[in-house]
Structure 1
Amino acid sequence: MTSAIDSPLPAVTRLIATDLDGTLLRDDKTLSDRTIAALAAAERAGIEVFFVTGRPSRWMDVVSSHVHGHGMAICANGAAVADLRANGRLVEVRALARDAALDVVRILRDAAPGTSFAVELTTGIHYEPAYPPFHLDPGATVAVAEKLLHEEAPGTGTPVLKVLAHHPGLAPDDFLLLAREAAGDRASFTRSSPTALLEISALGVSKAGTLAACCAERGIAPSEVVAFGDMPNDVEMLGWAGSSFAMGNAHPAALAAASGVTLTNNEDGVAVVIERILRSR
């Protein structure tokens, strides 16, 4: 793997796809002035910038004023595309079927006793009593996952973007491996938290898949995309893009998937590469 200075860039860069937490955002969840300037300069140069994140659209306020030309973001690890210029309105949803979600809950309860769950709907998050509470969502319903996923008739419930599973004792990567082995035929499993917190989407849904569809709609080839990420939920995207950079603080799986490595999120690693792209034009 080569550095941000040495790694080859596309002959033509038409789109930059960047994760947020641990990548574009500093550890204090803010954007540096240098990063803000780099994003604006890229858009002025005609390069689209896509924020591609595990966050739900309602937690995109940290970057919503920096979307510039297009205003779209890929949220919930590819389960939703949001229009940040329309208060995060969802323009596309790749929902997790409730029967598949219930199967996963049942399997993980048996395979990893002590697991607790949350359910991320298009309208917000709800969670079990044992699940670590989301203080940013004070209106959440607290109930067992089976009740949260219940619907009166098939297809009548609010779409499920993802289910989250937390375990208080397992190592994060061990929990991810266990879940994929136990229920990988029913849903997609990934993680982006430093804790044993899994993010469960519909089978085949990933940041890469939704990004690929968005690029195809715009006539943008993978070879014209530069991607940035730091955690296992970025692995497929880093592998799909023609040029990709793992952050200096990245998880080993992200480092292995990327074609290059840049500085850490606290050292403006994304901005460093964007500045290099612009100098090469």
Structure 2
Amino acid sequence: MTDTPTAPTTSTSWRDLTPTPDLGLVVLDMDGTLLRADGSVPDGFWDLLPVMQDRDIVVVPASGRQHATLHDMFGDHGIRTYLAENGTVVVHDDEVVATSPLSDDTVQQCISAVRGTDRRLGLVICTPEVAYVESTDHEFLDEAAKYYHSLEQIDDLTTVDAPVVKVAVFCFGSAEDAAPGLFTGEDAASPEVENNNAVVISGANWIDIMRTDANKGAALRDLQKELGASPADTAVFGDYLNDLEMIGEGDLSFAMANAHPGITAAANYTAPANTEDGVVQVLRRLLGV
């Protein structure tokens, strides 16, 4: 599982910032960060996007959501670069340039663990193009559809015959409470999963299983190399533990006011909450508009 910093934060308020003319890369987590509580993009962001594009600033949605979902949200607005599936799918100029597939054994162990528990859970098997579910629980399916627009229901997840980049578990309850019984700790149903992979709490109700070398931070480093960018000209916004590695890759790193304490401790700056359009407020300050 991703380590959580516990040291007191030394982050500074966004109000102390001045316009940043060298800004070249803006990387945005979605839920709890850019998006409002109802899942919508703030209107002010659409006003700022052309300003950033005119200045050749690359805007990168970075999310546990799949590429198809992010493209549906932003593709019509000229965004062509994404860190999807928590960094296990990297898209640049609308082309998938890198993926991080799990082993077949890991996928089967995850399926067995979820099937074998008494907890009410939903399981999503994520490939670069399609997400698969076998559950018929309508409440879970409605939740999964928010994040996976390319979603297919099948009878048996063990029959998925495509590279799997992520296994996502939706918990009807706390993900942090559910993870120890499934994948982490001495009493885990499938301890092999944690031994060989990263088990990440990616939201209040979501657990993601990915390769240990796959995360938003690693994907962002690769993208910075591709674009000739550096931490000095990169702004990163996040709120939850799946953003932890990514937060370290931008000198302008922002934890939302609603962020998990681990993200607040890791970020260089604080920002207003997502419910206050915090990303928009900070970007206005950085852009000087």
Q: TM-score of the superposition, structure 1-length normalised? A: 0.82
Counterpart in 2 of 1:47? 57
Counterpart in 2 of 1:154? none
Counterpart in 2 of 1:246? 255
Q: What SS does the corresponding residue of 2:73 show, helix, strand or coil?
A: coil
Residue of structure 2 aligned with 1:140, choices 132, 152, 159? 152
Structure 1 residue runs of 5 or longer lacking an equivalent are: 150-156
Counterpart in 1 of 2:287? 278
Does the 8 Å CA contact 1:26/1:32 hold for their aligned counterparts? Answer: yes
Does the 8 Å CA contact 1:104/1:187 hold for their aligned counterparts? Answer: no
For the structure 1 residues 123 and 49, does the alpha-carbon distance in structure 2 shift closer, same or farther, using more than 3 Å as the test?
Answer: closer
Residue of structure 1 aligned with 2:47, choices 21, 37, 43? 37
Instruction: Tell me how large the CA RMSD over aligned residues is.
Output: 2.8
Partner deviation per Cα, 1:14-50 (whole Å, 9 max, x = no partner): 2111112221122222222311122221222232211
Q: Are 1:163 and 2:195 matched, yes or no?
A: no
- 2:162 and 2:87 map into 1 onto residues whose CA distance is 18
Q: What SS does the corresponding residue of 1:189 show, helix, strand or coil?
A: strand
The offset of 1:113, in angstroms, is 4.9
Q: Are 1:20 and 2:23 matched, yes or no?
A: no
Between 160-169 and 216-225, the greater mean CA deviation after superposition: 160-169
- 1:16 and 1:92 map into 2 onto residues whose CA distance is 20
Aligned pairs, number: 264
- 2:103 and 2:88 map into 1 onto residues whose CA distance is 12
Counterpart in 2 of 1:152? none
Residue of structure 2 aligned with 1:100, choices 103, 106, 109? 106
- 1:231 and 1:39 map into 2 onto residues whose CA distance is 24
Structure 2 residue runs of 5 or longer lacking an equivalent are: 1-10, 186-190
Q: Are 1:64 and 2:68 matched, yes or no?
A: no
Q: What SS does the corresponding residue of 2:124 show, helix, strand or coil?
A: strand
Does the 8 Å CA contact 1:24/1:31 hold for their aligned counterparts? Answer: yes
Q: Percent identity?
A: 26
Does the 8 Å CA contact 2:126/2:165 hold for their aligned counterparts? Answer: yes
Residue of structure 1 aligned with 2:246, choices 237, 240, 246? 237
For the structure 1 residues 251 and 130, does the alpha-carbon distance in structure 2 shift closer, same or farther, using more than 3 Å as the test?
Answer: farther
Does the 8 Å CA contact 1:186/1:203 hold for their aligned counterparts? Answer: yes
- 2:47 and 2:122 map into 1 onto residues whose CA distance is 41
Partner deviation per Cα, 1:46-75 (whole Å, 9 max, x = no partner): 32211111110111222222335xx11110
For the structure 1 residues 75 and 138, does the alpha-carbon distance in structure 2 shift closer, same or farther, using more than 3 Å as the test?
Answer: closer
Does the 8 Å CA contact 2:238/2:263 hold for their aligned counterparts? Answer: yes
Counterpart in 2 of 1:173? 176
The offset of 1:109, in angstroms, is 6.3
For the structure 1 residues 9 and 177, does the alpha-carbon distance in structure 2 shift closer, same or farther, using more than 3 Å as the test?
Answer: farther
Does the 8 Å CA contact 1:78/1:205 hold for their aligned counterparts? Answer: yes
For the structure 1 residues 37 and 163, does the alpha-carbon distance in structure 2 shift closer, same or farther, using more than 3 Å as the test?
Answer: same
Aligned AA for 2:169? A
- 2:263 and 2:110 map into 1 onto residues whose CA distance is 25
